[in-house]
């Protein structure tokens, strides 16, 4: 799940649990400027003092929730988020979507400064929290784990398909590892009935801005070279929640062949497991945490033979497929996740301010 989608889902649910809210979004040069639902201000990358105007809008709310991932905000390493946070006199919660194990000095310094300035820091996995506390100078009392939200995809009926269906989805670009999945599909062409592979999702807007559709075109060429173009369906459009949910439930296996060894949070992984669909994933940190106890199958990075072997096991062993389908995690639905954010916000609002939106932690608060 992209950060903007996460933010919109959280904002919507926070409005449901109480109060009103709005979204300040950040857009790159050339990106769509049409306002979306709930957007109260657009921060254009490259605009002078864009952070200042964004801060002025955010000041009109009681509390600010900031999504952080390197590359979202303007400035070196996205550093323009720091003066924004320092400008705020209302409490702030910063949600970390990425915690790098080997950051550059600039990235480490920025993240530590963000943690000093914010009232609270949220990670979505225990792995991310541990990495943050062991690798950065951060106050442990500020760091809270609130899981990624999940839609109710597991409640949707599973559409019937003629043969086994393999699925991956999310914003497309280098690092997603789809090329390894294509090579795995080529090794599975002996299955009867034949395997179908769906690659759903738009190309990441930053990838389009820098490289156009080079990655997607390369996947099409690779599929043709491997002789599997007939077995692969690309759906390069935005899928609404219900359409995506039905697509997820139609899959026999979700494959996440990511190249990254840094990914501590994956909304796609969360949704797949919550829906009860067997998952085959590379050993990125969130997959190790969520699937390591047998909820899915883990394989080495960049290894199509291992991917093919794991996918074949699920598709040809009904007992394994049933076990993986039944070992879903209890779905942490968005309303429950929003309630945890609301409770954290209430703690911050109840505590006396100490400057720059920093607040002392109440004794006995959840950590």
Residue 166: CATH number of its domain: 3.40.50.2000
- The CA distance from 332 to 124, in Å, is 12
Same domain, 122 and 15: yes
In a domain, 55, yes or no: yes
User: Is residue 239 within 8 Å of residue 200, measured between CB atoms?
Assistant: yes
Mean pLDDT of 166-195: 97
Which range scores top for mean pLDDT: 149-153, 183-187, 360-364? 183-187
Domain span holding position 192: 153-326
Same domain, 72 and 138: yes
In a domain, 355, yes or no: no
What total number of domains does the chain contain?
2
Same domain, 289 and 230: yes
C-alpha angle 28-32-34 in degrees, rounded to nearest 5: 125
pTM of the shown model: 0.87
Beta bridge partners of 23: 39
Same domain, 101 and 163: no
Q: Is the dihedral of CA 244, 245, 246, 250 positive or negative?
A: positive
Kindly report the number of other CB atoms within 10 A of residue 183's CB atom.
20
Q: Which of 26-35, 186-195, 286-295 has the lowest mean pLDDT?
A: 26-35
Quote the percentage of the chain above a pLDDT of 90: 69
Mean pLDDT of 140-165: 80
**Length of the chain in residues, anyone?**
367
Identify each DSSP E strand in 7-100 by its residue range.
23-27, 39-44, 64-68, 92-96
Kindly report the number of other CB atoms within 10 A of residue 188's CB atom.
20
Same domain, 168 and 314: yes
In a domain, 224, yes or no: yes
**Per-residue model confidence (pLDDT) at position 19:** 67
- 18 phi and psi angles, rounded to 5 deg: 150, 135
Region of 38 (left: φ > 0; alpha: ψ -120 to 50; beta: rest) is left
**Per-residue model confidence (pLDDT) at position 32:** 61
**Per-residue model confidence (pLDDT) at position 154:** 57
**Per-residue model confidence (pLDDT) at position 156:** 58
In a domain, 366, yes or no: no
User: Is residue 268 within 8 Å of residue 280, measured between CB atoms?
Assistant: no
In a domain, 66, yes or no: yes
**Per-residue model confidence (pLDDT) at position 292:** 84
Cα radius of gyration (the chain): 21
Q: How do residues 206-242 score in pLDDT, each as one tens digit?
A: 899 899 999 999 999 999 999 999 999 999 998 988 8
- The CA distance from 266 to 286, in Å, is 7
**Per-residue model confidence (pLDDT) at position 356:** 44
Same domain, 186 and 142: no
Q: How do residues 289-343 score in pLDDT, each as one tens digit?
A: 999 888 899 999 999 999 999 999 999 999 999 998 876 555 578 888 999 999 9
In a domain, 365, yes or no: no
Same domain, 119 and 197: no
Same domain, 116 and 16: yes
In a domain, 362, yes or no: no
Same domain, 131 and 72: yes
Higher pLDDT, 158 or 246: 246
- Whether residue 354 is predicted with pLDDT greater than 90 in this model: the reply is no
Higher pLDDT, 364 or 236: 236
Same domain, 344 and 270: no
- The CA distance from 186 to 195, in Å, is 10
- The CA distance from 256 to 254, in Å, is 7
Mean pLDDT of 28-38: 66
- Whether residue 28 is predicted with pLDDT greater than 70 in this model: the reply is no
**Per-residue model confidence (pLDDT) at position 320:** 94
Residue 117, both tokens: 């300035």
Q: How do residues 57-72 score in pLDDT, each as one tens digit?
A: 999 999 999 999 988 8
Same domain, 180 and 277: yes
Three-state secondary-structure class, residue 149: coil
- On average, the pLDDT of the chain sits at 89
**Per-residue model confidence (pLDDT) at position 367:** 37
Q: Residue 360: which pLDDT band, with cuts at 50, 70 and 90?
A: very low
Q: Is the dihedral of CA 312, 314, 315, 316 positive or negative?
A: positive
Q: Residue 46: which pLDDT band, with cuts at 50, 70 and 90?
A: confident
Nearest to 349 by CA among 61, 91, 15, 116: 91
In a domain, 270, yes or no: yes
Mean pLDDT of 269-293: 92
Same domain, 50 and 195: no
**Per-residue model confidence (pLDDT) at position 202:** 95
Q: Which uninterrupted H or E stretch holds 88?
A: none
């Amino acid at each position: 799940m992209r950060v903007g989608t996460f933010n919109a889902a959280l904002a919507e649910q926070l409005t449901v649990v109480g109060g009103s809210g709005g979204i300040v979004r950040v857009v790159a040069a050339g990106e769509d400027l049409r306002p979306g639902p709930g957007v109260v201000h657009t921060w254009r990358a490259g605009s002078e003092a864009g952070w200042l105007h964004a801060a002025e809008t955010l000041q009109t709310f009681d509390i600010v929730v900031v999504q952080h991932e390197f590359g979202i905000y303007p400035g070196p390493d996205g550093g323009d988020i720091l003066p924004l946070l320092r400008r705020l006199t209302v409490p702030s919660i910063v949600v970390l979507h990425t915690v790098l194990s080997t950051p550059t000095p600039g990235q480490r310094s920025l993240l530590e400064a963000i943690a000093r300035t914010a009232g609270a820091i949220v990670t979505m996995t225990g792995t991310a929290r541990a990495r943050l506390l062991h690798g950065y100078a951060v106050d442990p009392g500020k760091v809270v784990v609130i899981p990624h939200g999940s839609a109710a995809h597991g409640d949707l009926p599973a559409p019937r398909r003629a043969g086994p269906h393999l699925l991956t989805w999310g914003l497309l670009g280098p690092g997603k590892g789809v090329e390894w999945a294509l090579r795995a599909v080529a090794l599975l062409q002996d299955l009867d009935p034949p395997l179908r592979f769906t690659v759903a999702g738009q190309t990441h807007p930053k990838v389009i801005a820098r490289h156009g559709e080079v990655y997607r075109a390369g996947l099409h060429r690779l599929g043709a070279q491997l002789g599997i173009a007939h077995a692969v369906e690309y759906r390069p459009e935005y899928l609404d929640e219900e359409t995506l949910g039905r697509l997820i439930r139609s899959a026999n296996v979700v494959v996440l062949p990511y190249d990254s060894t840094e990914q501590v949070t994956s909304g796609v992984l969360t949704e797949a497991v919550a829906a009860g669909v067997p998952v085959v994933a590379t050993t990125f940190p969130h997959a190790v945490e969520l699937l390591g106890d047998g909820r899915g199958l883990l394989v080495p990075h960049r290894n199509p033979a291992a991917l093919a072997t794991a996918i074949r096991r699920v598709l040809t062993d009904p007992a394994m497929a049933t076990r993986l389908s039944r070992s879903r995690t209890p779905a942490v639905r968005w309303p429950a996740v929003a309630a945890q954010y609301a409770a954290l916000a209430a703690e911050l609002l109840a505590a006396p301010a100490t400057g720059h939106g920093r607040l002392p932690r109440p004794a006995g608060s959840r950590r």
